[in-house]
Amino acid sequence: MKIQDIVKTVDHTLLKQCSTSADIINLCHEAVKYGAASVCVPPSHVKTAAEFLKGALPVCTVIGFPNGYSTTAVKCFEAADAIKNGAEEIDMVVNLGLVREDRFDAVLEEIKAVKAACGDKLLKVIIETCLLTEEEKIELCRVVSQSGAEFIKTSTGFGGGGATREDVALMRRECAAHVKVKASGGIASLEDAEDFIKLGAERLGTSRVIKSVIEKENGK
């Protein structure tokens, strides 16, 4: 697979707590230079990224992040506020307490509410696979397929584990065809990225793919 075909699936990501505006602008520079799908930045940096990019790439951000236990009203406000500031894509974390209680109807209603707040902007639903049983993963694939969200996403990267090949294959198999899969967390190399794409991921959340490309260019 050509490197540019891998990079164009990447949400070039920087979600570290101490990220500065300069860090975000550098991330945007790299994403544009190498042809990423978007930049994924903290909510407080959405406006900075959007003003810098001026539509050159979509800005993605996260809500209910990383734990997912904000109220539905707060998640909806976060989504609407991010969109007002220039976000085109929203990655939300599900309420894992509701999942553990088998309250999947409530999970579905929350995702629908956030999707309504997003309007025509993309919604990606983070299910945090490392904390789920096989049965919970399968049920969440069903829920996301019914919710109106455009993507299901493996991980926050802050939950103790990231995307696995097995989880991406399961999500692609269990989700409806209209739901796309985003693999995130633990994508350490171009080889990892290619594997996830071949298994059905259409987006990759990572900072390391473009870093790998830069290192290749520099002969490292």
Residue ranges of domains in the chain? 3-217
Question: Which among 170, 172, 161 has a CA at the least distance from the CA of 128?
Answer: 161
Note the pLDDT of residue 216.
87
Question: Which among 139, 208, 201 has a CA at the least distance from the CA of 9?
Answer: 201
Is 211 noted as a catalytic residue in this protein?
A: no
Note the pLDDT of residue 176.
98
Q: Torsions phi, psi of 38, nearest 5?
A: -165, 175
- Which tokens is 3 given? 């490197």
Is 153 noted as a catalytic residue in this protein?
A: yes
Is 54 noted as a catalytic residue in this protein?
A: no
Tell me which of 115, 153, 167, 192 is the catalytic residue: 153
Phi/psi region, residue 219 (left: phi>0; alpha: psi -120 to 50; beta: rest), is left
Confidence band of 187 (pLDDT split at 50, 70, 90): very high
Q: Is 145 exposed, middle or buried (0-12, 13-18, 19+ CB in 10 A)?
A: middle
Note the pLDDT of residue 116.
98
Phi/psi region, residue 185 (left: phi>0; alpha: psi -120 to 50; beta: rest), is left
Note the pLDDT of residue 152.
98
Note the pLDDT of residue 153.
98
Tell me which of 91, 167, 180, 192 is the catalytic residue: 91
Which CATH number fits the domain 3-217, given the four candidates 3.20.20.70, 3.40.50.300, 3.40.50.2300, 2.30.130.60? 3.20.20.70
Stated pTM of the model: 0.97
Sign of CA dihedral 54, 55, 58, 62: positive
The amino acid at 99: V
- Provide the 10 A C-beta neighbour count for residue 137: 20
- Which tokens is 23 given? 């860090």
Three-state SS at 40: strand
Tell me which of 11, 180, 182, 192 is the catalytic residue: 182
Q: CB of 40 within 8 A of CB of 13?
A: yes
Mean pLDDT over residues 73-101, rounded?
98
